[in-house]
Amino acid sequence: MNPGWPFPCARSLPKRRRLRAEIARYLRQARGVACTPDEIVIAAGTQLLIQQLCCLFGLDGRAVAIEEPGYNGVRIVFQHLGFAVTPIPLEEDGIDVEALEASGARLVYITPSHQEPSGMVMPYAKRIRLLQWVARTGVYIVEDDYDGEFRYRGKPIPSLQGLDTEGRGVYLGTFSKSLLPSIRISYMVLPPALMDVWRERMSPYDQSASRIHQETLALFMKSGEWERHIRKMRTVYRKKHQAMLNALHAVMGGHIRIMGQDAGLSVTVEVYSDKTAEELTAAAASAGIRVYPTAPKWFRPPQNRLPAFQFGFGGLSVEEMDAGLRLLYEVWKPYMHSCI
């Protein structure tokens, strides 16, 4: 451990703080997140963390801005809790900051490191511009870094939370993508002002994440196995990512447009077809193939947009990818046309 490290040795910590100490140490090193263990909240999934966050702001119908399209699992939580959801369109490099400024929202939820579902990575310049707006207005920004460990092109970009100098950033992370979905452990880093409110309102609530899993994960991280695991999986997924791109180009070629090629565990594919996403999904299902359209990620689905799908590769072998895409192409071939 570095002599100047600000956190006490995990061995001397109470069990309930060990995992938070390891997460804080990892986030500072890997994502540039500035936090102490006492600013971290752990729960069994991102949706539960969003629920807690909503309770901090009050369930009074306030406006929350989200990306359009964006992660519908979080959007549904905001809607169920009575928040007024304001969809903000995307540009080629991320959320439209001018539209965001005009929305009047005081809370923003975004996925800047791998936009869900388009896959774009928000560049450093736009992150600074976004934080300048936050500094002027005092808005809170919720950054969901759900698979930030896996970036395949370009240099890593610091988290928004690490770049924020005003204490207005909330950082969300999860072990579901990088380790095991079934472990059900996600975490939230709160700025000091919100952490004070959380202690007042939420500390009486029972812990939702398994304490056994938390202790096991803390030991896994402290031993160094976590970082070795991440390095190994980053190499594995980089190869699978490239294999997916190669197979898509080889099999479907000019019939598709690929987005989100820099990070994450999926790529988004627009299909040049006059059929709707629902019709193509049904055609694939008739051949025993399950595909995942991006249509549910839209708050207000646009008319006449190309059908789009997310193709995941994390749990597939290269051979399974190739065989699956070739079968899918045979099913969709009658409905596809060239982009030229």
- Output the pLDDT for position 5: 40
Which DSSP state fits 44? S
Residue 93: partners with Cβ closer than 8 Å, 6 or more residues away: 120, 122, 123, 126
In 121-276, alpha helices (H): 124-137, 160-163, 192-201, 211-222, 225-251
- Superfamily covering domain 227-335: Aspartate Aminotransferase, domain 1 (3.90.1150.10)
Instruction: Compute φ and ψ for 262, nearest 5 degrees.
Output: -110, -20
Domains 10-223 and 227-335 share a fold: no
d(CA 141, CA 105): 10
**pLDDT digit string (tens) for the chain, length 340 residues:** 333 444 444 444 556 689 999 999 999 999 999 999 999 999 999 999 999 999 998 876 689 999 999 999 999 999 999 999 999 999 999 999 999 999 989 899 999 998 999 888 999 999 999 999 999 999 999 999 988 888 887 777 889 999 999 999 999 999 988 888 788 899 999 999 999 999 998 888 888 888 999 999 999 999 999 999 999 999 999 999 999 999 999 999 889 999 877 788 899 999 999 999 999 999 999 999 999 999 999 998 888 889 999 999 988 899 999 999 999 999 999 999 877 5
Which DSSP state fits 336? B
The residue with tokens 């005009």 is 102
pTM (whole model) above 0.85: yes
Instruction: Compute φ and ψ for 24, nearest 5 degrees.
Output: -60, -45
Q: What is the pLDDT of residues 274-307, one digit of tens each?
A: 999 999 999 999 999 999 999 999 998 888 889 9
* Domain locations in the chain as residue ranges: 10-223, 227-335
* CATH class for the domain made up of 10-223: alpha beta
